[in-house]
Amino acid sequence: MIYSNTKLLFILFILGNLSGCLDDADSTEETIIGNVACGPEHAVPYKPANIGSNPTIILNIAEYGDGSNIELVENNTVTQSGILPSTETDFVVSGRGEYFYRLGKQGIDTIQKYYRTAPEVGLYQTENRLGFSTRDAGTDTSPNAKMIGFINDSIAILPRRETNIAWVVNLDAQTESEFKICELDLSAYETQTITNEGTDEEAIVTYPPHMELVNINDNYAAITMQRLENYTAVNSAYTAIFDLNTWQEVDTQPETDGLKGIQLNLKNPQQSTLSGNDLYISSVIWQQSGGIEKIDLDTFTATTINEESGYWSINATDNGNIYAIGIDGWDYKGLFEIQGSTRSAVGNTSEDILTTLTSRENKLWLGYKGTADVTAKVEIYSALTNSLEGTINSLPRSTQGISFIEE
């Protein structure tokens, strides 16, 4: 891609502003991040993302042990390759408007913001140039923030898996002290177990709720928690519902005592998608069983709709179709259209390992893992006909996530 003079000036302007940054990654003495509980004073209106006619596609590609980077695609062709190379691989990349965000998960614990015409220039100006931290101030513990849930272009929720606290953040922050707005307390969903029971070494072990997902509509933020014990799905998973107007947790079962959230039928939730006010959640147990359930965000009820296998990535298209990647043993194989309790295969996808699935309007974007026999690629399918419409071939690494930015 050839930059115009205007784009080059923009890049030079940003680089000039960053030139005074230091490389000390641990300096936080000017960072003041409070522990403010979210309340009505923090309420902001929900706004869905604007969908343009000529998006740039962001491919977050990575191979464990090999590193990661970003590829930019226009008209099914890679236009910029090798952007933001890193030896780390555990990133989530999310586009919103003209910007995209790179969230480092377990052990990375940073978030950085980039503009579409200057995709290698971080806009969050911190001393280490990696962006703002997602860790609690003064701690070395990784919160493992899992994803970015956008309320609007400026405000988002970060579910933090290894803690009891989700953050509501200001994506337009100019300093780290402006980034975290307030906190959502999910400590009620902690789990406990007794180890070495009946011995001198008996102890109570407390596990965090394991926030995995956040989905947002006009009225609510839904945070889904796995509630594992030592990586095992022992306890029921839950989805907590927060009212965007008050930031209070909604008691979805007011006639009963206990947790306020929606108890899920299936354990170990994996991914989710919204279709209107219906929230679809995929799950898997022991790499074989599992399924898909639907939460009605009007009635706060959960219904299991498909148990033909465990499922990984799940997505809803604009025409209301639901698609998911099935799980076969330890591999993610087969793209399926979910039709209630039955499903139908889409494309020739059952023999190769699939990595990610996303949708935009009525198109599906499906990532393939690179192996000795298959080159990493992305396929694009029509949700109107379930037919293959295009392929992005010969990617240097497997696609772990697909997102979009607008002109």
Taking only the tens place, the pLDDT of each residue in 354-390 is: 999 999 999 999 999 999 888 999 999 999 999 999 9
What does the buried/exposed string (b/e) look like for 174-193 if buried means 16 or more CB atoms within 10 Å of the residue's CB? eebeebbbbbbebeebebee
Residues 6 or more apart whose Cβ sits within 8 Å of residue 132: 110, 111, 112, 124, 126, 173, 176, 179
Is residue 102 predicted with pLDDT exceeding 60? yes
Confidence of residue 288 (pLDDT cuts 50, 70, 90): low
Beta-strand ranges (E) seen in 19-138 are 56-63, 67-74, 77-86, 91-96, 99-104, 110-115, 132-133
- 112 near 131, Cβ under 8 Å? yes
158: closest CA among 137, 134, 174?
Answer: 134
Residue 286 is predicted with a pLDDT of 75
Q: Alpha-carbon torsion 24, 26, 29, 30, what sign?
A: positive
Phi then psi for 8, rounded to 5 degrees?
Answer: -65, -40
Q: How many CA atoms lie within 13 A of 216 on its CB side?
A: 25
Residue 24 is predicted with a pLDDT of 37
Helices (H) and strands (E) in the chain, counts: 1, 30
254: closest CA among 300, 291, 193, 189?
Answer: 300
How do residues 191-210 score in pLDDT, each as one tens digit?
Answer: 999 988 889 888 999 999 99
- 220 near 243, Cβ under 8 Å? yes
Is residue 250 predicted with pLDDT exceeding 60? yes
Question: Looking at per-residue confidence, does 128 or 135 come out higher?
Answer: 135
Q: Alpha-carbon torsion 161, 165, 169, 174, what sign?
A: negative
Joined together, the tokens standing for residue 297 give: 């965000």
Residue 331 is predicted with a pLDDT of 87
- 242 near 184, Cβ under 8 Å? yes
pTM: 0.90
Beta-strand ranges (E) seen in 172-309 are 180-185, 191-195, 203-207, 211-216, 220-225, 238-243, 262-263, 269-275, 278-285, 289-296, 301-306
- Please give the Cα distance from 347 to 363 (Å, whole number): 14
- 369 near 398, Cβ under 8 Å? yes
Confidence of residue 334 (pLDDT cuts 50, 70, 90): very high
Longest pairwise C-alpha distance within the chain: 73
- Please give the Cα distance from 197 to 165 (Å, whole number): 30
Neighbour tally for 246: CB within 10 Å: 14
Q: What stretch of H or E contains 346?
A: strand 342-346
Mean pLDDT for the stretch of residues 54-81: 96
Residue 195 is predicted with a pLDDT of 87
- Chain centroid offset of residue 20 CA: 32
Question: Looking at per-residue confidence, does 2 or 144 come out higher?
Answer: 144
